[in-house]
Amino acid sequence: MKRALITEAFRSIWKTRSRFLSILAIVAVGTGFFAGIKACTPDMMMTTEEYFKEYNLSDIHLVSTFGFDEKDLAAIEEVDGIVAMMPSYSAELFSDTASSPDTIVKVYSLPLDGDWEDPAFMNRPILKEGRLPQQKGECLVERGKKTPTEFTIGSTIHFRSDEETELSDMLDCDTYTIVGIVESPYYLNTDRGAASIGDGVVDTFVMIPEEHFCYEDDIYTDVHLLVQKPEGLSPFDEDYESLIMDYSERFEALADVRTVARYNEIMDEANAELADAKEELAEGIETQQRELADARQKIADAEQEIADGEREYWDGLQTFQEEIAEAEQELLDAEEELAEAETKLADGEKELQEGWEEYYDGKAQLDEGEAEFQSQKAAAEEGFAQAEAQLAQLKQQLTDAENGAAVLPSLIETLKQQLSQAEQSGMASEAELQMLRDSIKEQEQNLLAAQGAVQQLPPVIAGIETQLNEGRAQLADAQQSLHSAAEQLRQGRKELNEAQKQLEEGRAELEEGKQELADGWEEFYEEKAKAQQELYDAQLKIADGKAELEQAKIDLAEGEAESNAEIADAQQKIADAEAELADVELPEWYIWDREDFGGYASFRDDMIKVDAIAAVFPVFFILVAALVCLTTMSRMVEEERTQIGTMKALGYSEGAIVSKYLIYSISASLIGSILGLAVGFQLFPQIVIGVYRTMYTIPDPMTPFRWDYALWCTLAAIACTAWAALASCRKELRSCPAQLMRPKTPKAGKRVLLERIGWLWKRLSFTYKVTIRNVFRYKRRAFMTILGVAGCTALMVAGFGIRHAIGAIVTRQYGEIFCYDGIVALDEAETEEKDEAVRHILNHELVDSGILALQDSATVSNGQKELEIYLVVPSQQEGLEDYIVLRNRKSHEALSLQEDQVIINEKLSKVMGWTVGDTIDLSYGELSGSAQISAITENYTLNYVYLLPSAYEAVLGQSVDYNTVLMDMTDPAQESRLSKELLENETILGISYASSGNEKFMDMVNSLDIVVWVLIASAGLLAIIVLYNLANININERVRELATIKVLGFYDKEVSSYVYRENNISTGLGILLGLALGTLLEQFALVVVEADDVMFAPDLPLTVFLYSAILTVVFAQIINVIVHFKLKKINMVESMKSVE
C-alpha cells in the first residue's frame, strides 16, 4: 500500500474523529457489555472457587445427634478418598445484649494454632478486622445481619444455655473477649441455619478457641471433610455434585453401621449408669433410714434427759423450799430465843438492881452488927485469955501424959521385941534380960500412971475447954454470924457482881446472838438467792434443752422430708432416665455437602441465572452495534465518493482504495473493542458481583481479562465493521470514476404512502408532512434509530418485567394466595396429644385462627416424568380461603375442592402437560393412587396438589394424618415470641412464617433491582450512543438543508424541532417496537431463568411499559439537547459553500 494512502487514511481518521469515535464507542459498548456480562458468571465462580480454596471450605460436613467418638472418627477417616478430616465442636447458645436479648449464637471451635498450610484446617475464618485469638478467652465475631451491634472488638460476650442444658457441659467458660471480626466461607449468604434452641433460627456465629469445649467423653459434635477430587474441578460443576453425591452415599452407609453401634454402646453405658444410680439410691435410702433412726434415738435420749433434769429440778426446788423454811424457822426460833433471853436479861438486871438494893441494906446492918460485936468481943477476949492460960497448964500436963502413953507402948513393944530377939538369940545375959524385963515393968508402970493421968485430966480440961469453947464458940458464933453475914454480904456482893457480870456476859452473848442472827439472815438470803439462781439456771437449762429438742425434732422432720424428697427426686430421675432411655432414638448422622451450607445452592442457582441472562441481553448490543457501524461506514464511503472517484481515476486499485476504509473501520473497532473489553471485563462483573455481594459474603471479585471472550468479541466486531466498510465500498466502486466525481444526485423526494390517504394527509400540519416525508426518505437511518431505541426500550421492559415477574411472586404468593401467617408443624403423635397441641396453638393469644391440614411432599407422575410436589389436604373446605386462596389466575374466580378430585397449580399443569379432567398419578410415601384434576389454581412458588380428606381417602385409601396447622396471627410482629411459646408443647415441631419466605424473595427482588438498573443504564448508554451517532450522521448528511432553513430565518429552536420531529417519530416507533420486543425478551429471559417449581408472574403491568417508555424518552431527549447545540453551531456560510 502506498504511503500517501496510509497517511491519508490516518489523516481522515483525525479529520472525522467524531465519527471514528462513535464507531469506536459503539463497538466498545457492544463488546464491553457482551463480554462483561458474559464474564460475570465465570468471574463469580472463579472468585468463589478461589475463596473456597483459600479458606479451605469443607466438601462435606457431618453432624451427629450424638456427636462423634473416636471410633466414629476412625471409621470416617477410613472412607476412601478422604483427603483431610477436621473434627470440631459447635454449640448453640444464647447471648443477651441490650439491643437484642436472646440472640442465638452458633459457637464454633477454632484451633488456636491453626496451620494455614494444613488441609485439615477447614472453613478458616477470613479476618476482616482485628486479629485472630491468641489465647483462651478470646473470640471472633461476624458482622452479619442479625449480629448484635454490641459485638465489637474489645467488648465481651456472655453466653448462656437454655434451661434444659448446662453451659458447663459444653464450654468451660462463658465470657469471651472479642478480638476480631471475621467472615466464614461456610456462610455465603445471611442465612445462619436452624437452631435447636429459642426461636429456632441462628442469628450469628462466634468462633472461640477449641480448648474451651468440654463435651463429655471426648465427643466431637462436627466433622468437616475434604474429599479427593480431580484437579481444577469447579465446585459448581455437575461432576462435583455427582462426586459428592457418591461420598454422601458412602457416609450414609457408614452412618447406618456407626449409629447402631453407637446406639448400643450408649444404651449399655446408660443402663449401667442407671443400675449404678439405682444402687446408689438404695444405699441412700438405707443410709437415710439409719440416720433417721439415730436421730430419733438421740431425741428420745434427750427427752429422757430433760425429764430427769426436770424431776431433779422439782426435787431440788422442793428441797430448797424445805431447807429454806427450816433455816428460816431456825432463824426465827433463834430470834425468839434471843427475845426471850433479852427479856430474861432484863429481868435479871431488874433482879440485880433489887439485889444491889438488898445488898446495900444488908451491908448497913452488918456494919451495925460489927460495931456491936467489936465491943462484946473485947470483953470476951479477956475472959478467954485467963481460961486459956489455966487450960494451957492442964493441957501441958495432959500432953506430957499422952506423949508418955503414946511413946511407951511402942517402946515397950520395941523392948519386948528386943527381949524376944535376945531370948531367942540366947546370947543376951539374964541381967540384961532382967534389966530389959524391969525397964518393960517400969515402963509399963509409967504407962499405967500416964494412962491414969490421961484418964483424969481430960474431963477437967474438957470441962474448961468446954466452957472456953462455949464462950469462944459464942464469940466465934457471933463473929461467925458476923462473918457469915459479911461473908453472906460479900457472898451477895460477889454473887451480885457475878450476876452483873453474868448479865453483862449475857448481854454480850445476846448481842453476839443478835449479830449471829443477822449474819444468819444474811447468809440465809444469800443462800436462798444462790439456790434460786441455781434453780433458775436449771430451769433455763431445761427450757433450752426442751427448745433444742423441739428444734431437733423439727430438724428431724425436715431432714426426713428433705431426704424423702431427695429420694423421690432420685427415683423420679431414675424413672425419667429410664423413660428417656426408652425414648432414645438411634443417633442420626446429618451428611451435609456444600448444597446445604449457607447460601451455596442459591448462589450457584443465581450464577446460572446470570449466565442465562448474559446469553440473551448482550445480543441486542451486538446487533445494534453492528448496524450502527454499518450505517456509519456506508455514510463515510458515500461522503468520500468524490475522493474514491479521484483515486480510481488516478489509477489506484480497488484494493488500495478499500484498504483505507478497512484501516479506518478495523482500527476503530479494534481500539473500541479493546477499550470496551478492558472496561467491560471490570465494570460488569464488578457491578453484578457487587450486587450479589450484598446477598452473599464473597470477597472482592476477581475480574481477569478473559482472552477467549476478548478474542471472539474483537474478531466479531472487526468482522462486522470491516464487512460494513467493504460492502459500502463495493457499491461505490461499481460506478465509474466520472460518475463518482460528480456529486451524487440528491435522493429524489418521494411521496409516502401516507399521502395517498388524502383525508389524513390534508389534516396534518405542514411541518408534520415534512417530517413524515423525511422519516421515510431516510429510511435506513430511521430504521437504525427505531432499532436502537427499540433495543433500549426492550432491555428496560425486560429489566422492569423480570423485576415485576419475580417481585410479584412475593406479593401474590405470600400476600394473596398464601394468606396464612405461619405453618405449625406437628410431630407424629397420638390423637389426644395432637388435639392437645392444636388446642395449645388455637388458644394462644397471638393466634387468631387456624385450620388443621396435611402438608407433605409427595410425587406426581404423568407416565414419563416424575415431579416432587407438595400435597395439601385441608381438613375442610370452609374457611380454607382464609389461609390458602385457590383461584383462577386471570379471572380471580374462586375454585372449590371437589369431593373426589384434586386441584393442581398452574406451573405443575404446564410442566406436566395436564389440563382439567386429566388424571394424575399421585404417590405419597407408601400410598399411591390416581385422581382427576378438577381445576388449576394460581400459584408461583413450588408445586401443589390440593385435595379434600374425602378425596385423599378415595385416592390413597387411608384416612388423613394431619401434620400441620395453618394459622393467622393477631400480631405478626411477635413471631419469635409465638415460636418460643408454642414450642413448649412437645408435639409442636416448629413454626415457619410466611414472612420469612417473603423476606427471602424480597432479598432476591432487591438484588434484582440493581441488575435492572445495570440493564437500564446499559440500555440508556446504548440508546444514547446510537441516537447520537445517528443524529450526527443525520446532521452531516443534511447540513445543507439545515443551513438553508437557517438562512430562511428559522430560529434555533425551530431548526432543532425540524430535526427532532423526525427523531421523535423514529423514537416513538422504536419505543413501540421495543415494548413488543421487550415483552418477548422478558418472556424468554424468564423461561431461561424459571425453574420447574417457580412460576414468574406471566403478566406485564402497564407500569413496566410506562417506565421503559418514559426512560427511553428521557434518553432521547438527552440526545435532542446535544443535537440542539450541534445544530446551533452549524455555519450557514460554510455549509452552503460545499458542493454536493
Partner 1 sequence: MSYVELKDVYKRYQMGEVTITASNGVNFEIEKGEFAVIVGSSGAGKTTILNILGGMDSCDEGKISVDGRDISKYNAKQLTEYRRHDIGFVFQFYNLVPNLTAKENVELAAQICKEPMDAVEVLEKVGLGERLNNFPAQLSGGEQQRVSIARALAKRPKLLLCDEPTGALDYNTGKQILKLLQDTCRKENMTVVLITHNQAITPMADRVIRMKNSKVEEMRLNPNPTPVEEIEW
Q: Which residues, in sequence order, are CB contacts of 1095 under 8 Å at separation 6+? A: 809, 905, 906, 907, 910, 939, 940, 941
Q: How far is the CB of 745 from partner 1 (least distance, A)?
A: 7
HEC string of 54-69 equals HCCCCCEEEEEEEEEC
Rounded to the nearest 10°, the torsion over CA 136, 138, 140, 141 is 130
State the Cα–Cα distance between residues 877 and 546, nearest whole angstrom: 78
Q: How far is the CB of 1040 from partner 1 (least distance, A)?
A: 6
Nearer to partner 1, 397 or 1044 (CB): 1044
Return the closest-CA partner of residue 744 out of 605, 641, 889: 641
Q: Please, what's the b/e burial string for 634-661 (b: 16 or more CB within 10 A of its CB; e: otherwise)?
A: bbbbebbbbbbbebbeeebeeeebbbbb
Closest CA to 299 of 549, 17, 480: 549
- By C-alpha distance, which of 363, 340, 338 is closest to 496? 363
**Residue 15 Cβ, how far from partner 1 at the closest point, in Å?**
16
Grid coordinates of 196: 435447636
Q: How far is the CB of 764 from partner 1 (least distance, A)?
A: 12
Contact status, residue 988 vs residue 825, Cβ threshold 8 Å: yes
* 792 vs 1033, beta carbon nearer partner 1: 1033
Looking at the Cβ atoms of 426 and 746, the one nearer to partner 1 is: 746
Of 669 and 1057, CB closest to partner 1: 1057
Q: Residue 767 or 896: which CB sits closer to partner 1?
A: 767
* Least CB distance to partner 1 at residue 13 (A): 21
Q: How far is residue 32's CA from residue 676's CA, in Å, rounded to a whole number?
A: 4
Given the complex with partner 1, which of 1102 and 1133 has the nearer CB atom? 1133
Which C-beta is closer to partner 1: that of 592 or that of 761? Answer: 761
Cell matching residue 1091:
425453574
Q: How far is the CB of 652 from partner 1 (least distance, A)?
A: 29
Give the residue from 960, 900, 895 showing the smallest Cα distance to 924.
Answer: 960
Minimum distance, C-beta of residue 1045 to partner 1, in the bound complex (Å): 7
CA atoms within 13 A on the CB side of 277: 18
For the CB of residue 1121, give the shortest distance to partner 1 in the complex, in Å. 18
Q: Where are the beta strands (DSSP E) in 906-961?
A: 919-924, 927-937, 944-946
Q: How far is the CB of 766 from partner 1 (least distance, A)?
A: 5
- Give 376's contacts (C-beta < 8 A, 6+ positions apart): 475, 478
**Closer Cβ to partner 1, 842 or 1132, answer by number:** 1132
Coil vs helix vs strand at 652: coil
CB of 1078 to partner 1, least distance (A): 32
Provide, rounded to whole angstroms, the least separation between the CB of residue 663 and partner 1: 28
Do residues 1085 and 612 make contact, with C-beta atoms less than 8 angstroms apart? yes
Question: Within its chain, how far is the Cα of 235 from the centroid?
Answer: 36
- Decide whether 698 or 1043 has the Cβ nearer to partner 1: 1043
The DSSP-derived string for 279-344 is HHHHHHHHHHHHHHHHHHHHHHHHHHHHHHHHHHHHHHHHHHHHHHHHHHHHHHHHHHHHHHHHHH
Phi, psi of 844 (to 5 degrees): -65, 140
For the stretch 1006-1011, contacts whose Cβ atoms lie closer than 8 Å and that sit 24 or more positions apart, written own/partner, are 1006/694, 1007/691, 1007/692, 1007/694, 1007/695, 1008/802, 1008/803, 1008/806, 1008/807, 1009/803, 1010/687, 1010/690, 1010/691, 1010/694, 1011/613, 1011/688, 1011/691, 1011/799, 1011/802
Closer to partner 1 by Cβ: residue 718 or 1043: 1043
Give the residue with the Cβ less far from partner 1, 775 or 837: 775
Query: Under DSSP, is residue 130 helix (H, G, I), strand (E, B) or coil?
Result: strand
Amino acid (one-letter) located at 523: E
Chain residues binding partner 1 by CB under 8 A are: 745-750, 766-767, 769-770, 773-774, 777, 1040-1041, 1043-1052, 1054, 1132-1133, 1136, 1139
What is the amino acid identity at position 342? Answer: E
Residue where the block lists cell 459500502: 728
Nearest approach, Cβ of residue 1054 and partner 1 (Å): 7
What is the per-residue DSSP string for 211-245? GGB--GGG-EEEEEEEE---TT--TTSHHHHHHHH
DSSP state letters, 516-548: HHHHHHHHHHHHHHHHHHHHHHHHHHHHHHHHH
- DSSP state letter for 216: G
Question: What is the closest distance, in whole angstroms, from the C-beta atom of residue 10 to partner 1 in the complex?
Answer: 21
Q: Which is nearer to partner 1, 764 or 867 (CB)?
A: 764
Q: How far apart are CA 243 and CA 60, in angstroms?
A: 11
Task: Choose between 65 and 1036: whose C-beta lies nearer to partner 1.
Answer: 1036
Choose between 292 and 1136: whose C-beta lies nearer to partner 1: 1136
Minimum CB separation of residue 1128 from partner 1 in Å reads: 9
- What is the maximum span of the chain, computed from C-alpha positions, in angstroms? 260
154 versus 749: smaller Cβ distance to partner 1: 749
- Minimum distance of partner 1 from residue 620's CB (angstroms): 31
Query: Considering the complex, what minimum distance in angstroms separates the CB of residue 732 from partner 1?
Result: 20
Task: Give which of 927, 937, 859 is closest to 893, Cα–Cα.
Answer: 937
Q: How far is the CB of 1044 from partner 1 (least distance, A)?
A: 4
**Cβ proximity to partner 1, 126 vs 1132, nearer residue:** 1132
When the beta carbons of 145 and 751 are compared against partner 1, the nearer one is 751
In which element (H, E) is residue 193 found? none
57, 123 in Cβ contact below 8 A? yes
Residue with cell 464474564: 39
Alpha helices in 430-439 (DSSP H): 430
Closer CB to partner 1, residue 655 or residue 749? 749
Q: Measured between alpha carbons, how far is 491 from 488 in angstroms, rounded to an integer?
A: 5
Q: How far is the CB of 20 from partner 1 (least distance, A)?
A: 23
